[in-house]
A and B are shown apart, each in its own frame.
Chain A
């Protein structure tokens, strides 16, 4: 059965690139760029993993992560933070908020796929 990945990211070209490489690996990809609607979208799409940016319009990725962790049904979802904010304090804040893995932009496509497969135990 194909695994579903939800991307929460505001850069359309990054979404396109991510969608291409993930779909090529056989994942079903759903994406949203509006942080304010992200939680509802995650609940609706019921993914196996979430790729989350920190800097989003309206609501920050950190807040979305906190909301995921405090929302029944999706609280245990594996979350991969994919962000240009790679400073120690950002990493620490993401860890405090309950992130599973943290990758900084720019990323290597192959490494990203490897990380996702590792998180999904594939």
Chain B
């Protein structure tokens, strides 16, 4: 069928260039009558004649020959599958693509663009779900609506209520409605492109994107199915990105080799995933254990850990977020997080339970460490990490039961702890 349509494609391409049969035949060095037979699929051509006609039509020979438009045909098929409610002539897609290559390309392009939009939408939707500001705003919105609904119901179903009580509830209704409008406006403002609070987590590095895609566990590297170069070659990167990503992948590989996943998981289970006990057992540093714990496969009995790594200025160097604990990319986090305190107490692990304003609780271990050998007269360069988890029930009871509890937030603008002494910016939803 496709072979039979070669002539049709030649005709459509010729018409698109507004060439007459005579012109094309002349350019290709064949007679017009022979071209006419070819265009009506009555003569098969290949080799030199096909190449000459293709050159005259300014297309690749493969675009005219059998299977040439397979990619295009597949894309049009994908477009047709997208909407099952509209019945398409699936058995004539090849003919359609051959007869109307321009329209076929347009449909394919639009279908591709819809795919890209869908993927972007999924990413944005995911970001929205993990956005602390949005979650807080939604909570406030629901509180407003709860008051209004419950109060309105009281007024509607108690007509004999005293005037004084009714007036009180009507006042509540008015005040809460105003708050609702304000909350709605704030949310609207937040999504304006100029809004200061917009999370700028779009510009993540290729390595972070790879980790996110693999849910922070690169099975191919862990189990030796691929080496670093093979993983690297599967990514589209600029020369600068290649160097950085390779270095990050090498660090990941080193972690996977030093603490092989199977042995580590067995041991971690025995020690109830306690970073400090594991560091003692493996006779290694807490930093390595924390990174290993933040990069475990997802499993029913495996706790999920997040991790933030920052330098002495608080600048985030690396982060693995958890759904309920989003981390800022460019500073601005809650100054009460123990990771910042650990910077003033290098090499001393700090264990703390964090209570978030929205009710989430996290077990954390923070640890600061020098990044280079001491130099006379120079301050030691220090970095810090904080490992955190909501699955603290899977840790030794002592790790979360007898640990100092801290009331903290994500960042001031989304934190409802209005009387906090560390506040440096207003709560946007107050």
* A positions within 8 Å CB-CB of B: 11, 13-14, 16-18, 20-21, 24, 54-63, 83-85, 89-90, 96, 105-109
Contact = CB atoms under 8 A, between A and B. Distances in A.
Contacts of B150: 14, 17-18, 21, 106-107, 109
B55 interface: no
A85 B359 contact: yes
A55 B172 contact: no
A56 B145 CA distance: 18
A105 B393 contact: no
B199 interface: no
B175 A13 contact: yes
A13 B148 CA distance: 9
Contacts of B359: 54-56, 60-62, 83, 85, 90
Interface in B86-101: none
Which of B138, B145, B154 has most chain A Cβ within 10 Å?
B154
Contacts of A61: 359
A60 B361 contact: yes
- Residue among B146, B175, B324, B357 with max Cβ neighbours from chain A (10 Å): B146
B149 A106 contact: yes
A20 B149 CA distance: 14
A33 B158 CA distance: 27
Q: Is the interface of B mostly helix, strand, loop or mixed?
A: helix
Contacts of A63: 355, 361, 405
B154 A20 contact: yes
Contacts of A89: 323-324
A20 B162 CA distance: 12
Contact of B358 (A59, A85, A96, A109): A85
14 contacts: A14-B143, A14-B147, A16-B169, A54-B359, A56-B359, A57-B416, A59-B355, A60-B359, A60-B360, A96-B393, A105-B142, A105-B145, A106-B150, A109-B154
A75 B359 CA distance: 21
A68 to B, nearest CB: 15
Contact of A13 (B138, B153, B176, B355): B176
A89 B168 CA distance: 37
B142 A84 contact: yes
Contact of A14 (B146, B175, B360): B146
Contact of A16 (B153, B172, B407): B172
Given A13-B176, A57-B416, A107 B146 contact: yes
B407 A58 contact: yes
B357 A106 contact: no
B168 A85 contact: no
